[in-house]
Amino acid sequence: MDYLLENKRKSNFSKKILLAAALTALLVFVIKRPPVISPSTKFSEHEPGVTHVLVTGGAGYIGSHAVLRLLKDSYRVTIVDNLSRGNMGAVKILQELYPEPGRLQFIYADLGDAQAVNRVFSENAFDAVMHFAAVAYVGESTVEPLRYYHNITSNTLQIVKAMSAHGVKTLIYSSTCATYGEPEKMPITENTPQVPINPYGKAKKMAEDIIIDFSKTSDMAVMILRYFNVIGSDPLGRLGESPRPELREQGRISGACFDAARGIIPGLKVRGIDYKTADGTCVRDYIDVTDLIDAHVKALAHAKPSKVGIYNVGTGKGSSVREFVEACKKATGVDIKVEYLSRRAGDYAEVYSDPSKINIELNWTATYTNLQQSLTTAWKWQKAHLNGYET
């Protein structure tokens, strides 16, 4: 009797286990099942009143800040990036801030892959493209020029061809003051002759030429923005600049200052103190990323079919390396060790913009013009993210 009862219990127990196992398996199946690629998502159809922007390089420093601003301003955004230099961590933060369907999607793709790019354009209905994706270190470009012509010039050609084939009519292009080379006269206006002196500047100039020549044969609306030296980060501390550790050597001055302040490198090496400038060090025009992105949004709003708008994006005011270092010391509170060395080949004494064209035509003005303030914002993010987006 007892034995029978025991047996019955056992069999009921194993039934329960079986049932639980079956339910668990079903749950795992539902969760793990790859999402059904629905032929019609919010991203695949134009929606009146919604501007869908493709942001190439949206996982990178400037691109991620652009995505944040576009989402805040109610744009629909698709990021295409192959994470060769950007950070998935930045994309995750953006996705957490804007989880609603139809706001932001991330597509992992390489712009050098024509088939992949065409697939992205045929499966999505873009109204405009902001093309940030590129490799962007002057020094590296002199060592690996083909990497630059490939990832800047050839990939831009790819984007323009795909836009043309799929009827996407607005392009905002990230260009650079490096396309001007070493102009004799300062400040640099948009009419200053472009004579780039390194593969980075040349690759960007060639990409501009491709875009401009194509626009003569189409009704595409084009805005080319030539940035000066970009610094700073999101004032609310959600995003920052986090280049790959292996690119530190190539790095820009702000990254080097912060690395020195953190003790990752022993100090700062300032190359050249005998330039014909007020304090002997090089003078550059530092533009805060928040202002830079504001210029993109204004450019998008002002873009006109069959027109190419070319604009310098800078503050119009130069700061010397010495001034920069002083601002960085104050922003970080660290008495960074500075070593003054002889000049580095290929550096020019003074570069700053004349931003009056963009002031007048797009009603854009730089507002984050306090170097120390911009560096303080960026330093806060750096200190809170010692491993970049990994933390």
Ligand X SMILES: NC(=O)c1ccc[n+]([C@@H]2O[C@H](COP(=O)([O-])OP(=O)(O)OC[C@H]3O[C@@H](n4cnc5c(N)ncnc54)[C@H](O)[C@@H]3O)[C@@H](O)[C@H]2O)c1
Least Å distance, CB 82 to ligand X, is: 4
Residue from 18, 25, 27, 83 binding ligand NAG (CB under 6 A): 83
Bond into 187 cis (ω within 30) = yes
136 binds, among ligand NAG, ligand X, none (CB under 5 to 8 A by kind): ligand X
Active-site annotation holder among 75, 148, 200, 352 = 200
Q: Which is nearer to ligand NAG, 28 or 146 (CB)?
A: 146
Q: Which residue has the tokens 């303030």?
A: 373
51 binds, among ligand X, ligand NAG, none (CB under 5 to 8 A by kind): none
Least Å distance, CB 85 to ligand X, is: 4
Q: Which is nearer to ligand NAG, 9 or 337 (CB)?
A: 9
Secondary structure of 73-88 in HEC code, one letter for each residue: CCCEEEEEECCCCCCH
Altogether, the residues listed in the chain come to a count of 391
Question: How many residues interact with ligand NAG (rule CB under 6 A)?
Answer: 15
134 binds, among ligand X, ligand NAG, none (CB under 5 to 8 A by kind): ligand X
Least Å distance, CB 23 to ligand NAG, is: 17
Residue from 6, 7, 12, 346 binding ligand NAG (CB under 6 A): 12
Catalytic annotation present for 200: yes
Enumerate residues 6+ apart whose C-beta is below 8 A from 387.
none
**Of 151-210, which residues contact ligand NAG (CB under 6 A)?**
151
Stretch that binds ligand NAG, among 147-155, 244-252, 271-279, 383-391 (CB under 6 A): 147-155
Residue 44 CB-half CA count within 13 A: 9
Decide: is 356 part of the binding site for ligand NAG (CB under 6 A).
no
Decide: is 357 part of the binding site for ligand NAG (CB under 6 A).
no
Strands (E), 281-359: 283-284, 286-288, 308-313, 319-320, 338-341
Q: Which is nearer to ligand NAG, 277 or 369 (CB)?
A: 369
Q: Which is nearer to ligand NAG, 88 or 338 (CB)?
A: 88
Decide: is 84 part of the binding site for ligand NAG (CB under 6 A).
yes
Decide: is 146 part of the binding site for ligand NAG (CB under 6 A).
yes
CA–CA dist 165, 331 (Å, integer):
48
Nearest to 55 by CA among 75, 35, 72, 37: 75
Assign 37 to helix, strand or coil: coil
Residue from 42, 150, 166, 302 binding ligand NAG (CB under 6 A): 150
Q: Which residue has the tokens 């999402």?
A: 35
Q: Which is nearer to ligand NAG, 27 or 83 (CB)?
A: 83
Nearest to 371 by CA among 287, 292, 294: 287
Helices 114-123, 155-165: inter-axial angle, 10-degree rounding: 40
Q: Parallel, antiparallel, or unpaired: how do β-strands 319-320 and 283-284 relate?
A: antiparallel
Residue from 50, 88, 97, 110 binding ligand NAG (CB under 6 A): 110
Separation in Å, CA 98 to CA 36, 45, 147, 297, 374 = 22, 19, 34, 19, 26
**Which tokens in the block code for residue 284?**
């550059």
230 binds, among ligand NAG, ligand X, none (CB under 5 to 8 A by kind): ligand X
Least Å distance, CB 89 to ligand X, is: 11
62 binds, among ligand NAG, ligand X, none (CB under 5 to 8 A by kind): ligand X
Residues that bind ligand X (CB under 6 A): 57, 59-63, 81-86, 110-112, 132-134, 136, 151, 155, 174, 176, 227, 229-230
Strands (E), 73-134: 76-81, 104-108, 128-131
Q: Which is nearer to ligand X, 38 or 387 (CB)?
A: 387
Q: Parallel, antiparallel, or unpaired: how do β-strands 128-131 and 52-56 relate?
A: parallel
CA 319 to the chain's CA centroid: 24
Stretch that binds ligand NAG, among 4-12, 184-192, 235-243, 379-387 (CB under 6 A): 4-12
DSSP codes joined into one string, 222-286: EEEEEE-EEE---TTSS------GGGGGG--HHHHHHHHHHTSSS-EEEE-S-SSSTTSS-EE-E
Stretch that binds ligand NAG, among 77-85, 88-96, 179-187, 297-305 (CB under 6 A): 77-85
Residues serving a catalytic function are 200
Residues contributing to the site for ligand NAG (CB under 6 A): 8-9, 12, 82-85, 110, 112, 135, 146-147, 150-151, 363
